[in-house]
Amino acid sequence: MVKLWWEEARAGCMTVTDNDDSEPLNGDSIAIKDNIVTSTLPTTAASRILSYHTSPFEATVVKLLKQNGATISSKANMDEFGMGSHSQNSFNGPVLSLFKRDGVPLSPGGSSGGSAVAVATGNCWAALGTDTGGSVRLPAAYTGTVGFKPSYGLLSRWGVIQYANSLDTVGILAASVEDAAAVFSILNHYDAQDPTSLLPSVRGRIAANRRTFPKTLRIGVPTDYNIHELSSAVRGAYISTLQQLQNLGHTLHAISLPTTKQALSAYYVLAPAEASSNLAKHDGIRYGFRSEGPDALPRENLPLYAQTRGEGFGEEVKRRILLGAYTLSSEAIDNYFIQAQKVRRLVQRDFDRVFATQNPLLDSKPGGGGGGVDVIITPTAPTLPPTVDEVKKQSPVESYMNDVFTVPASLAGLPAVSVPMPLSDAIEMEVEGGDVKTTGIQVIGQFGDDELVLRAAEIVQ
Ligand code: GLN
């Protein structure tokens, strides 16, 4: 059943007054991922290079939460600069999940693992994370929480430490879709301080495009997501979700998103390229950590900035900087960066072809999509969370594989939410010694169809 909670949530956040009962977030505690700046708590992005950093200003999203009565409970640990899928790459130490298998902690997912665990353990009512290629949705899937990545540009990035600007999106982790939607309503505003914030004119076009919520959803089921790496536990939960939706009267439609296979490779070219440029400003002069020495006399003939960056960045961050610097170099840019940008366009076109609604950022809809679907439903992650010991044995590329289902929506800037789905009893017994009871199911919508995506997620939930 579709509940009419959305209108209530929106109406509820119209009043901004002093801290009294009329405030929509009346003292609700919200944890903030440590790459979103706060002026009263340090912001380290889980990196040694920012270990002494407290921002002189506050991110717009944090300001909005406070204005609406929220209590900022803590900063949440994460993968350094958002780079990782398991929240184990942190200068502050790894994030541990609340779940274990045979006594060994499982991965909480990354990079917003601290935010997800804070919600899952009831340490806060909701949390902010950031999602560049899946970092809100994957931890949600691994911890049994809801993780929502809105359309790119709806929520302000002012005060969000960049990983890859063209992909970075503030996301919300909560115990239910309703809670995530309530936070979203509060944060969904134009911000002149963020040059990529969607202009009021575009927001108007999105609102004009909005249709009434269909009684029966046309659900796209991408055949290309049926990969052999999909574990039987996740496949089982996915199939039973689709069956339940069909039983409720919604219709399933096989769709093809052929560029999905190239999306992951394109993402791992584009994101490190942007990161290598973004991280150049961390040089030991302007922020945080600086290598030791009498006023940082060069050691081993290294200039101060090289020494600082060598000591300040962790292994994964250095790997991404090298990768990005290489793919942007004159000898490699044509074969890597430019090709990846082309793949990104194809991924966007794949989605535009299958959605019933036209992308409000385009003048026309590419043909070939047939009747079109309202939303696409996929698993969030191909497997249940690995143990932290298994993560240690993974090669970087194996770790990147976790993002295969989340990255396409990021490349296209689309709204996507992960909701927990129970595993079948039989599967639960199969996952011996483990106490994970859910996996994530992802709902993806057309650009700007955030409300539709959240309402569809309500039905799945
Ligand atoms: N795991 C992906 C990466 O390491 C996604 C991270 C994110 O969304 N911040 O790049």
Q: How far is CA 16 from the centre of its chain?
A: 28
Question: CA nearest 245: which of 212, 226, 222, 218?
Answer: 218
Residues serving a catalytic function are 33, 111, 135
Looking at residue 283, the DSSP 8-state letter turns out to be S
Domain membership of residue 168 (yes or no) is yes
Q: What is the pLDDT averaged over residues 201-212?
A: 90
Domain membership of residue 411 (yes or no) is yes
- Name the pLDDT band for 108 (thresholds 50, 70, 90): very high
Q: What is the pTM of this model?
A: 0.93
CA 132 / ligand 1 centre spacing (Å): 6
Domain membership of residue 34 (yes or no) is yes
Q: Do 153 and 413 form a contact (C-beta atoms < 8 A)? A: yes
pLDDT of residue 456: 97
**Does 134 contact ligand 1 (Cβ within 6 A)?**
yes
pLDDT: is 275 or 369 the higher one?
275
The yes-or-no verdict on residue 301 having pLDDT over 90 is no
**Average pLDDT, rounded, for the chain:** 90
DSSP string, 60-107: HHHHHHHHTT-EEEEEE--SGGG--SSS---TT-PPPPS-EETTEEBP
Provide the domain limits for residue 384: 5-213+379-460
The span from the first CA to the last CA of the chain, in angstroms, equals 11
**Does 164 contact ligand 1 (Cβ within 6 A)?**
no
d(CA 68, CA 13): 7
- Look at the block and give the residue holding tokens 């047939």: 370
Instruction: Lay out the sheet containing 71-76: strands in order across.
Output: 71-76, 29-33, 126-131, 169-174, 146-149, 416-422, 438-445, 375-379, 218-222, 251-255
Domain count, the chain: 1
The yes-or-no verdict on residue 5 having pLDDT over 50 is no
pLDDT of residue 80: 98
pLDDT of residue 359: 93
154-166 residue pLDDT tens: 999 999 999 999 9
Q: What is the pLDDT averaged over residues 13-38?
A: 73
Domain membership of residue 21 (yes or no) is yes
357-386 residue pLDDT tens: 999 998 776 665 556 999 999 999 999 999
Q: To which H or E segment does residue 152 belong? A: none
At 11, is the secondary structure helix, strand, or coil?
Answer: helix
Index of the ligand 1 atom closest to the CA of residue 163: 9
The yes-or-no verdict on residue 4 having pLDDT over 80 is no
Specify the range with the lowest mean pLDDT, choosing from 372-376, 408-412, 429-433: 429-433
Question: CA nearest 279: which of 324, 311, 315?
Answer: 324
CA 309 / ligand 1 centre spacing (Å): 21
Specify the range with the lowest mean pLDDT, choosing from 90-94, 211-215, 453-457: 211-215
pLDDT of residue 433: 62
Mutate to test the pocket of ligand 1, among 35, 136, 403 (most ligand atoms within 8 A of CB): 403
- Name the pLDDT band for 7 (thresholds 50, 70, 90): very low
Domain harbouring 94, CATH code: 3.90.1300.10
Q: What is the pLDDT averaged over residues 12-22?
A: 40
The yes-or-no verdict on residue 229 having pLDDT over 60 is yes
pLDDT of residue 220: 98
- Name the pLDDT band for 10 (thresholds 50, 70, 90): very low
**Does 82 contact ligand 1 (Cβ within 6 A)?**
yes
Index of the ligand 1 atom closest to the CA of residue 268: 10
The yes-or-no verdict on residue 296 having pLDDT over 80 is no
Domain membership of residue 129 (yes or no) is yes
Which stretches within 159-258 are classed as H helix? 177-187, 200-209, 232-247
Domain membership of residue 258 (yes or no) is no
- Name the pLDDT band for 428 (thresholds 50, 70, 90): low
The yes-or-no verdict on residue 47 having pLDDT over 50 is yes
72-81 residue pLDDT tens: 999 999 999 9
Q: Do 184 and 136 form a contact (C-beta atoms < 8 A)? A: no
**Does 132 contact ligand 1 (Cβ within 6 A)?**
yes
**Does 352 contact ligand 1 (Cβ within 6 A)?**
no
CA 429 / ligand 1 centre spacing (Å): 31
Q: Do 417 and 443 form a contact (C-beta atoms < 8 A)? A: yes
**What value of ipTM does the predicted structure carry?**
0.98
- Name the pLDDT band for 275 (thresholds 50, 70, 90): very high
Type of residue found at 243 = Q
pLDDT of residue 1: 28
CA 36 / ligand 1 centre spacing (Å): 15
| Residue 213 structure tokens | 């919520």
Domain membership of residue 147 (yes or no) is yes
Dihedral angle over CA of 59, 63, 66, 67, nearest 10: -170
Domain membership of residue 363 (yes or no) is no
